[in-house]
Structure 1
């Protein structure tokens, strides 16, 4: 299984319930779906599927995560957010374009 396929499989565990959103400090500050755990999971999945380009805007969304992992603690589906985020950052760094 490729790293992209592994990321897609991890991202597919998210049931999009949104329980993580109120716990996220960057979402609370920005009020943007892209700055929420659910949004970042969707962005990483789209990147892994080749539906989203690797660019500085995506890099900023992933980098803005504080890393507190409160989202992972409250997730009823036990989504491995940290693995998804780190995998997304690795994939992004190997494919970034200006």
Structure 2
């Protein structure tokens, strides 16, 4: 017997937003300690989670990939939310995890 679990958009958006807020706090703490590579990485994770929250809100579907460009290019993701993100991250040498997501 197959059971389906209802996808709760509001809870999923909240999950991604809370994760982004936490990661941004960690990024701030790492920055204050002079741990700049870790601060940038945590900032990258926060950005990823913010983008995922936007995609989930706009599409009503999961955003399971790790590639920021894939997340940002998904249907209905607000262009204003993704403008210049890739070039900004690339300036700091933040690697994109697209090889993990396929």
TM-score, with structure 1 as normaliser: 0.32
Q: Which structure carries more relative contact order (alpha carbon 8 Å, separation 6+)?
A: 1
Computing the radius of gyration over CA atoms, which structure comes out larger, 1 or 2? 2
